[in-house]
Structure 1
Amino acid sequence: MNDYAMTPGERRATFGLGLVFSLRMLGMFMVLPVLTTYGMALAGATKPLIGLAIGIYGLTQAIFQIPFGLISDRVGRKPLIVGGLLIFAIGSMIAALSDSIWGIILGRALQGSGAIAAAVMALLSDLTREQNRTKAMAFIGVSFGITFAIAMVLGPIVTHAFGLNTLFWGIAILALAGIVLTLTLIPNPSGHVLNRESGMVKGSFSKVLRNERLLKLNIGILCLHTLLMATFLALPAAMENAGFMPADHWKVYLVTMLVSFVAVVPFIIIAEKKRKMKQVFLTCVALLLISESILFSSGQHLWTIFVGVQLFFIAFNIMEAILPSLISKEAPAGYKGTAMGVYSTSQFIGVAIGGSLGGWLFGLNGTSTVFIGCIVLCALWLILSTTMKQPPYVSSLRIELPETALQDGLLESHLKMVAGVNDVVIVPEEQSAYVKIDSGKTNRAKLEQLISSYHSQLA
């Protein structure tokens, strides 16, 4: 029970699913830094339509994210992942074959429709044990950050060398490679694991949506990705106007990403270890406001633009790291999976708003209008963020229970009396206890030992 070493099967599942997820996200993000510049050569292209092409995948992703996660419980994780990747590949091929902005929009809409994130996390739960699941999910999270950085660099290089159509063909090949990996590398699960920590539960969305603390965090991730999409609509054009050609944009993204990854570490230590999560959060929102203000006032001063970009990515990458942690801390016991599903949907709604609204602002009066819109959004977000409370510094556990322990109605109260236990929910039909703990005071091993000894006494 207390064996925390990952088995070869768990390592294979974690690496394989991380790779599949990364291949898909690489395809999503490689388009981001190039569509504004190279996309304007497409037939019928306008700045608002470019914004729609960038953001529409977020809209379709938001629509299908939660339903696909629930459907995977019925049809199976692997079939849904393969189907989602196939839809994504078809969308990429349509975009690759198109010389019109409307073909790109259709292709991007289909790309977003292949929403597999929830199914990937559910399959990861099926293939890993409780004590190793946090490590496996952390690997997926880290791979996401690395993939985003690679996409920012690789997209401009490939598009400049071979063109936008070739970029979409490459994205389609990545999706097909993901299908092959899913069918060959990733083990087949012996059954579905009912796990509220990683999966969504029907009938629980209203409880999550009514939670004021979670609502503020969902608004936060929506704002963050609205800013990302809108900024990337204006940024390539701003750099080009300052004399920095699109073929060289990857150099800026490479340097700023590397610096921001290094900068994330001390902020995470301050937020988690020093328990100053709210202070770090507010600092990042303020940093985003400063970066957008610098970009707005930069004019054709290239190095000023570089400074604004660097500050933006430092704040963005820190936020990407701490927001899921905040959701985990604030979600009620047994509702983390549902809370993460709503959080992901909010993220993709932000993508849709950022692309569409950013494109409209870009069409009104160029890059400066986009940056003004971003400044206003940052200011409103900063005001809202000041009302946030310091989160409880707890982590979530799911502990499997023996049948005899379930028969005793006092187990929940016994667990709540343990020092460091913040909240407990026992779900008899899943034979599980969902517990929120202060890891500085207790841990999984101690609780499992307590349940085991309690079980022995009842037996």
Structure 2
Amino acid sequence: MGSNGLSGTEKKVAFSLASVFGLRMMGLFMIMPVFALYGQHLQGFSPLWVGIAIGAYGLTQAVLQIPMGILSDKYGRKPVILGGLVLFAIGSLIAASADSIYGVVLGRAIQGMGAIAAAVLALAADLTRDEQRTKVMAIIGMCIGASFALSLLVGPIVAQHLGLSGLFLMTAGLAILGMLIVHFLVPNPISHAPKGDTLAAPAKLKRMLMDPQLFRLDAGIFILHLVLTAVFVAMPLDLVDAGLVKEKHWMLYFPAFVGAFFLMVPLIIIGVKRKNTKGMFQIALMIMMVALATMAAFSQNLWVLSIAVVLFFTGFNYLEASLPSLIAKFCPVGEKGSAMGVYSTSQFLGAFCGGMLGGGAYQLLGAVGVFMVAFGLMLVWLMLTIGMKNPVLLKSYTLEAAVKDKTHARDMAAQLSQLMGVVEAIVVLDEKVAYLKVDEHFDLREARAVLGSAH
């Protein structure tokens, strides 16, 4: 088996864990395009509570994201993932049986308590070689994007035929399917991947927040998911007012999302070719701002709204795809787990705040008010990008190190730093690994000679 491709086990790991992640995210997302329309029979229904119900999972997910990752390191990845999926199923059943909106909020909050993202990514890292880890993470990332697209298609269709309770029962079924995949298809890990790659270290979180480049990205994902959640509080109601019956909303959302995926590809290609990620990033922000301004100005015109939805998803898809890779490029070497922990927490907090802000703004100002508030937040993000740097195109390596003591670790790190192509190097004695950031001149064989690796 060559080192250039995924092994059979790594393919199995990638697609089984991507399926688990995707099924769970689909269960969380399916409610977004339909709840404001199909939840109107619930006791206590109001736009504010619609927003809280849609975003409630974000608060518990944000609070428990890092602790669940740490628990997985102590008690094992699979037990924590299975426990999280059990909580997700319980939350789904509570929401399915609720006759008031408050019961749905409780169910959504319990769904979010099954915060398994860090444990799933850590398990993926445990079961893959360091040189193949990026590919596996990319497959999982693509599956999350696909699950969001499918939720825009499946959510409205399921809600139309089975109602809101049927939709929540389906999410419980997805959780059970995820448990079966974890138990029967995902291999058992023999060893843990280096922690710096996968898990957040609480002691390092403050440093992640104080880094100006990482802070811009964390603030960005917070705003992006705040805006997404807020828009989906108002958009379904606005489309009905514009003349699109709720049973046909999927006919707009799904093609718009897929079309937007293809429209974002040129942004990625141009950004890479011209080495101007920052410029493309700002263009994507402006595309979303144009979309939001159009939604506010033409809220009664279905055709113009449809074009605005395509533009919104074009900008959203580019930013959602770009942010994790930018975090990896800007974070200090060996601290990707901590950087991603803060990033994920910011993302889920954004979803919670977006639900509250979207619901409150709709109740006070209507759909136009929601879109204008979202526009203002995107403008704040655009201002934040002024000081953003273009990332240098570097690769990261995590390599085994035959290190004996602290002095040996320092000497080894010094030798690695002197190698051609090595931009940054750190050797961690406790983990017996070296974390490297390198450019195109790097020779892996030279590094392994220094590390005394058996490879």
Same fold (TM over 0.5): yes
Gaps of 5+ in 2: none
CA contact (8 A) 1:405 1:455 kept: no
Corresponding letter in the other structure for 2:375 = I
Question: Which residue matches 2:438?
Answer: 437
Matches within 5 A, 1:31-50: 31-50=31-50
SS at match of 2:289: helix
Corresponding letter in the other structure for 2:435 = Y
CA contact (8 A) 2:415 2:450 kept: no
Question: Which residue matches 2:324?
Answer: 324
Change (3 A) 1:116 1:456: closer
CA contact (8 A) 2:333 2:437 kept: yes
Matches within 5 A, 1:444-459: 446-447=443-444, 449-454=445-450
CA contact (8 A) 1:2 1:131 kept: no
The count of aligned residue pairs is 452
Q: What RMSD over aligned residues (CA atoms) do the two structures have, in Å?
A: 1.7
Matches within 5 A, 1:399-414: 399-403=399-403, 407=408, 409-414=410-415
State the 1:367 CA deviation: 0.5
CA contact (8 A) 1:405 1:411 kept: no
1:420 has 2:416 as partner: no
Cα distance in 2 for residues equivalent to 1:115 and 1:380: 29
Corresponding letter in the other structure for 1:238 = D
Change (3 A) 1:295 1:453: same
Q: So what's the TM-score if we normalise by structure 1?
A: 0.95
CA contact (8 A) 1:404 1:455 kept: no
State the 1:179 CA deviation: 0.7
Question: Which residue matches 2:397?
Answer: 397
State the 1:333 CA deviation: 0.3
Q: So what's the TM-score if we normalise by structure 2?
A: 0.96
Cα distance in 1 for residues equivalent to 2:2 and 2:397: 14
Corresponding letter in the other structure for 1:132 = Q
Cα distance in 2 for residues equivalent to 1:332 and 1:454: 22
State the 1:411 CA deviation: 2.5
Cα distance in 1 for residues equivalent to 2:362 and 2:37: 13
Question: Which residue matches 2:260?
Answer: 260
Corresponding letter in the other structure for 1:255 = P
Matches within 5 A, 1:11-410: 11-403=11-403, 407=408, 409-410=410-411
How many percent of aligned residue pairs carry the same amino acid? 41
Corresponding letter in the other structure for 1:96 = A
Corresponding letter in the other structure for 2:316 = F
State the 1:456 CA deviation: 6.8
1:157-180 C-alpha deviation (Å, 9 max, x unpaired): 110111111000000000011111
Corresponding letter in the other structure for 2:424 = D
Corresponding letter in the other structure for 2:434 = A
Cα distance in 2 for residues equivalent to 1:395 and 1:341: 20
Cα distance in 1 for residues equivalent to 2:411 and 2:103: 61
State the 1:425 CA deviation: 1.0
1:131-182 C-alpha deviation (Å, 9 max, x unpaired): 1111110100011111110001110011011111100000000001111111
Corresponding letter in the other structure for 1:284 = A
Greater Cα shift, 187-196 or 242-251 = 187-196
Matches within 5 A, 1:1-12: 3-12=3-12
Cα distance in 1 for residues equivalent to 2:65 and 2:89: 17
Corresponding letter in the other structure for 1:437 = V
Change (3 A) 1:40 1:9: same
CA contact (8 A) 2:84 2:113 kept: yes
1:329-363 C-alpha deviation (Å, 9 max, x unpaired): 10000111110110000000100110001100011
Misfit runs of 4+, over 6 Å: none
Gaps of 5+ in 1: none
CA contact (8 A) 2:409 2:428 kept: no
SS at match of 2:213: helix
SS at match of 2:397: strand
State the 1:365 CA deviation: 2.5
